[in-house]
Amino acid sequence: MTGRIQRLAALAALLLATGCGAGSGEGLDATGNLLSQSQPAGTGGGGGGGEGGASGNPNATLAWVQGNVFGGVCSQCHIGGSGAPFGVDWSTSANTCANVGRASGEKPELNEITAGNPATSYVIWKVEGQGPNGEAIVLGRMPLNNAPLTPDTIQNMKDWIADGVPGC
């Protein structure tokens, strides 16, 4: 048991020392959208497979937001269930879907994700740094201590939520 505790303490120290960083951007075009399978990196374009929902955004999918935001960026800190900040775990698609309809730990009057309504989804407030009408968030903008997500990445998240969180 002592070895496990030492490994966990070392991992925690490493995360604190390095901070929780943003993803590498690998596999994304200059606007933060997935490259299509046939499109080489650096050539622009969009894609990412699928038709998207009512938004028509092909990146408004659980696979895209999990691979490029929740799993690739957020889960660097928000992992481990109850040990995650405010109990919000974004490490897997199942955990992300469990946050749909779940009251926010910071602003319980809002859900982490409200299917169909990005304006009342606290995760959008957190990545934008404020609510849609300038409402304050608790603590800092996410990803904490790192560059903000691009507007296109946030739009992909908003479209996925507005489309009813397909895949969850």
* pTM of the full structure: 0.70
Integer-rounded Cα Rg, in Å, for the chain is 16
Task: Report the SS3 class of residue 53.
Answer: coil
Residue-level pLDDT at 81: 62
pLDDT at 132 over 70: yes
d(CA 47, CA 68): 14
Residue 149 burial (CB count, 10 A): 23
> Is 134 within 8 Å of 26 (Cβ atoms)?
no
Q: Give the model's confidence band at 160: pLDDT under 50 very low, under 70 low, under 90 confident, else very high.
A: very high
**Mean pLDDT value of segment 54-70:** 96
> Is 134 within 8 Å of 128 (Cβ atoms)?
no
First to last CA, the chain: 36
Give the mean pLDDT of the chain. 77
**Mean pLDDT value of segment 126-154:** 95
Count helices and strands in the chain by DSSP H and E runs: 5, 0
